[in-house]
Structure 1
Amino acid sequence: MPIDAAKALAAEPRTGEISWNSKDVQLYHLGIGAGLPATDLDELRYTLESRLHVLPSFATVAGSGSPGVIKSLSMPGIEVDLARVLHGGQTLTLHRPVPAAGTATATGRIAAVYDKGTAAILVMRTEVADADGPLWTNDAQIFVRGEGGWGGDRGPSAGLDMPAGDPDKTVERPVREDQALLYRLSGDWNPLHADPEFAKLAGFERPILHGLCTYGMTLKAVVDTLLGGFVTRVRSYRTRFAGIVYPGETLRIRMWRQDGAVRVAVSAVERDDAPVLADTVVEHT
C-alpha cells in the first residue's frame, strides 16, 4: 500500500530553517492579484516595500511552503502519484502578525491520515516559530485519489450549514490567464498548474489554479472589504476546496458577518456559480 498510515504518523517531524523578505511578500501578493489599480493607495499596502502589510495567508508559502506539499509527500509511509493529489483544505492559525521579513524554524509532520474509501486524506501540519515564540500553524488537508480502503479512521465529515439570509458583501475578482504561472513562483511547483499535458493526465482539460491562490485571493477580499484593510485583525482562516478554478475565470466571493468571524462562500461565475471554496471561516478581532 503506497500509504502506510501507522508509519506516516510515527515518523519523526522534519525541522528546518526558513526565511523570507519583503520581495517574497510582494511576489506573493502579486500572485494573488494585488496591485490593481497599480497606484491605488490601498493596493500599495501590498506592493510597495515602504508601506508593506503582510496578508496572513502569505504564511502558506513563506520559506517556499515550509516545507511544502510536494516535499511532505516524500515523508516515511507515503509514496503517491502527484497526478492523483489534490489540495482538499487548509487551516491557518496566527499566533502573531506575520512580519515582512524573518527567519524561523518550521516543524512539519503528518498529524492525521484518514481513510475515505476511494481516497485518503493526509493532514500535514507545519508549526513555525522564531526567536520570540510561535508565529503560525498551518494544516494542509491533502486528498489522494485511489489510496483509501484499508479500513482506517474516516475522520470528520460534517460540513458547515450555509449562513441564512443575503450576504453582507459580494465581490467579484477576475483570475488572470497567467495567474497560476505567477503564483507558482512563490514555491508550489506542481506541474498540474502549468503543464497542459500533465493536467490532462490528471483528468483536467487544462492547468488549474492553485487552491492556495484562491485561498489568498479570498482572504484579501475579506480583509479589504469587511476588516477595513487591517491584516492584523485575522486570527485564523480555514476552508475546504470544493471545486477547481481555471485561469481566466471570475471568482464570486460572498461574505456574511458573524460574531467575531466572517463566513465566506466562493464560486466560479462562468460555470453557473460552481462551488470553489466551502466551509470557509475567517476569525478576527
Structure 2
Amino acid sequence: MPIDLSAVGRTVGPWEQSWTPEEALLYALGVGAGAEDPLAELAYTTENTAEVDQQVLPTFGVVLAQFSGPGVDFGDFDPALLVHAEQELVLHRPLPAEGRMSLRRTVTDVFDKGKGALVVAKTEGSTINGEPLLSTMSSVFVRGQGGFGGERGPSVDWAPPEREPDAVLTFQTTPSQALLYRLGGRDHNPLHSDPAFAGRGGFPRPILHGLCTYGITARLLIGHFCGGEVDRVRRIYGRFTAPVLPGQELIVHAWAEGNEAAFRTETKEGGVTLDRGAFTFA
C-alpha cells in the first residue's frame, strides 16, 4: 500500500511519557557532551557535582515526544526508504531532570515531492497539570512514494547573511557515535547500526542519526550563544539535507541577528547536512 493520504488529520493520544535523570545524562553523552573535555559540561553529564545543578539538553524533548506512545499509520512501505527531513522544537519551559508529560500527535500534511512523499507530524507536550511544555514538528521523506498528484508544499527562501559567520563551531564525531546515541536517543532504527539494512537504503554503511546531528548542533549553539544555559532556549529548527557517517567532523556556521541565529551544519568534507537552521534564544 502506498502513502495513505487519508492520514492527514489523524491524531493519537494523549499518552504519558516519563524520564529519569540517568536517561537525560545518557542522551547528553550521545550528542557529545563532555567528549572533548569531561569537565566542561558537567551540568549535562552529571547529577551529583558540587555546586552544579543538572540541566537537560532541550533536544532531549524531541526524543521524549517522538519515540514514545502509539504510532500514526500513514502507509505500508520499506522503512529503509524513509529518512528524516525536518525537525523543529519549541520550548515553553525547561525540561526538568526527571518528570512526566502528556503528549498528543497529529499528522498535519502529506506533500508530493515527485521522487518521494513528505509526511509532516506535530506533537504537543504538556505537564501532567496541563501546562504547555514543548511542541515539535517533524517531517519524514519516503523515497519512491511521490507522484500521486498532491501539493508540493510551501517553499521557503533561505540564505545566510552575506558576511562571515559570527561563530564557527566544530565537533569530531566518533566511529561509534551512532551506537552510543541510539541508546540515549531511544532510536534503534537499524539504518544506524545494521550494514545490510543501510545497504537496502542505498548507503555504503550505517549512517548517523539525523537527530544526533541536530542534538550536537544544538548543544554547540547553546554553549556559544547561551553560555550553556538551557533555560534561554526557545526554538531550534533545521532541515536535513545529507547523511553523516559516524567519525566525520561537523562544522556549524552561525550568523546572529538579535536573539536569533541562522545556522548551517556541514561535514569537514564540505557537504551540508543540516540546512536552513534557526535558533532562537532569550
**TM class, shorter-length:** over 0.9
Pair 1:76–1:48, CA change in 2 (3 A): closer
Q: Output the CA distance in 2 between the equivalents of 1:221 and 1:163.
A: 20
The one of 108, 111, 115 aligned to 2:108 = 111
Alignment partners' CA distance in 2, 1:39 and 1:208: 26
Partners of 2:134 and 2:157 in 1: how far apart?
24
Aligned to 1:247: 246
Q: C-alpha root-mean-square deviation of aligned residues, in Å?
A: 1.5
Aligned-partner SS, 2:174 = coil
Note closer, same or farther for the CA distance 1:64–1:91 as it changes in structure 2 (3 Å cut). Answer: closer
Q: CA deviation at 1:39?
A: 4.1
Q: Within 5 Å, which residues of 2 pair with 1:1-285? A: 1-5=1-5, 7-37=6-36, 39-40=38-39, 42-50=40-48, 51-62=53-64, 65-67=67-69, 72=71, 75-130=72-127, 131-185=129-183, 186-269=185-268, 271=269, 273-285=270-282
Contact 2:160 2:263 in 1 (8 A): no
Is the CA contact 1:60–1:66 (under 8 Å) kept in the aligned structure 2? Answer: no
Q: Deviations over 1:25-51 (max 9, x none)?
A: 0000000011235541x3101111132
Output the CA distance in 2 between the equivalents of 1:61 and 1:20: 11
Q: Closer, same or farther in 2 for the Cα pair 1:12/1:251, shift >3 Å?
A: closer
Q: Spell out, residue by residue over 1:196-255, the C-alpha distance to the aligned partner (whole angstroms, 9 max, x if none).
A: 111111100000000000000001101111221111111011000011100011001111
What are structure 1's unaligned runs of at least 5 residues?
A: none
**Paired residues of 1:64 and 1:188 also in contact (CA < 8 A):** no
For these two proteins, the number of residue pairs brought into alignment is 276
In 1: Cα distance, 2:259 partner to 2:65 partner: 30
In structure 2, C-alpha distance between the alignment counterparts of 1:76 and 1:33, rounded to whole Å? 33
Q: Is the partner of 1:281 in helix, strand or coil?
A: strand
Consecutive unaligned residues of structure 2, counting only runs of 5 or more, are none
Which whole-Å CA distance do the structure 1 matches of 2:166 and 2:20 have between them?
Answer: 35
- Residue by residue over 1:112-157, the C-alpha shift from the partner in whole angstroms, topping out at 9 and shown as x without a partner, is 1111112100112111111151110111110000111111121112
Structure 1 residues 158-216: Cα deviation after superposition (integer angstroms, max 9, x where no partner) = 24112220011112100011110111113111100000111111100000000000000
For the 8 Å contact 1:37–1:43, the answer to whether it is kept is no
**Percent identity of paired positions between Structure 1 and Structure 2:** 39
Contact persistence 1:8–1:110 (CA under 8 A):
yes
For residue 24 of structure 1, report the CA deviation from its aligned partner. Answer: 0.8
CA distance 1:262–1:63, shift in 2 (3 Å) = closer
Q: Which amino acid aligns with 1:282?
A: F
Structure holding more helix per residue: 1
Runs (4+) of structure 1 exceeding 4 A deviation are none
- Partners of 2:259 and 2:280 within 8 A in 1: yes
Aligned-partner residue type, residue 133 of structure 2: L
TM-aligned CA deviation for residue 66 of structure 1 = 3.3
Alignment deviations for residues 70-103 of structure 1 (CA, whole Å, 9 cap, x no partner): x63xx34422211110000101111111111111
Q: Using structure 1 for the length normalisation, give the TM-score.
A: 0.92
* CA distance in structure 2 between the aligned counterparts of 1:30 and 1:276, rounded to whole angstroms: 21
Amino acid at match of 1:88: A
